[in-house]
Structure 1
Amino acid sequence: MTRQRAFRPEELDGERLELYRAVAAGPRAKGPFRLVSEEGVLLGPFNEFLLSPRVGDALQRLGAAVRYESGLSDRVREMAILVVAAAWDSAFERHAHEAVGRTVGLTDREMAAIAEGAPLKLEDPYEAAALRLTRAMVAGDVDDGTWASCVPPLEREAVFELTTLVGYYATLALQMRVFRV
Structure 2
Amino acid sequence: MRMPPIKPGDLSDEQRPLDEQARRIMDGQRVPFTSTDEDGALVGPFPALLRFPRLARPLLEWFTTVAGESVLPARVREVAILATGARYGAAYELYSHSRVASAIGLSSAVVAGLVAGQRPSGLTPEQEIAHDVAACLYTGGPLPGALYRAAVGCLGAAGTAELVFLIAQYTGISLVLNAYDVPLPADAE
What runs of 5+ residues in structure 1 fail to find an aligned partner? none
Q: Which residue of 1 aligns with 2:25?
A: 27
State the 1:122 CA deviation.
4.1
The change in CA–CA distance for 1:31 and 1:160 in structure 2 (over 3 A counts) is: same
> Considering only aligned residues, what root-mean-square deviation do their CA atoms show, in Å?
1.8
Distance 1:146 1:34 in 2: 36
The change in CA–CA distance for 1:119 and 1:177 in structure 2 (over 3 A counts) is: closer
State the 1:66 CA deviation.
2.4
Q: How high is the TM-score relative to the length of structure 1?
A: 0.89
Q: Which residue of 1 aligns with 2:8?
A: 9
State the 1:23 CA deviation.
1.4
Q: Which residue of 2 aligns with 1:154?
A: 155
Residue 152 of structure 1 aligns to a residue whose secondary structure is helix
Q: Which residue of 2 aligns with 1:180?
A: 181
Distance 1:102 1:123 in 2: 14
171-180 vs 147-156, which moves further: 147-156
The change in CA–CA distance for 1:31 and 1:144 in structure 2 (over 3 A counts) is: same
Q: Which residue of 1 aligns with 2:98?
A: 98
How many residues are aligned here? 179
Distance 1:61 1:34 in 2: 22
145-154 vs 70-79, which moves further: 145-154
Residue 155 of structure 2 aligns to a residue whose secondary structure is coil
Of all paired residues, the percent bearing the same amino acid is: 27
Matches within 5 A, 1:1-181: 2-24=1-23, 26-29=24-27, 30-122=30-122, 124-141=124-141, 142-181=143-182
Q: Is the 8 A contact 1:72 1:158 kept in 2?
A: yes
Distance 2:130 2:13 in 1: 41
State the 1:14 CA deviation.
1.5
The change in CA–CA distance for 1:8 and 1:155 in structure 2 (over 3 A counts) is: same
Distance 2:170 2:90 in 1: 10
Q: Is the 8 A contact 2:152 2:159 kept in 1?
A: no
Q: Is the 8 A contact 1:122 1:128 kept in 2?
A: no
Residue 147 of structure 1 aligns to a residue whose secondary structure is helix
Distance 1:123 1:22 in 2: 33
Q: How high is the TM-score relative to the length of structure 2?
A: 0.86
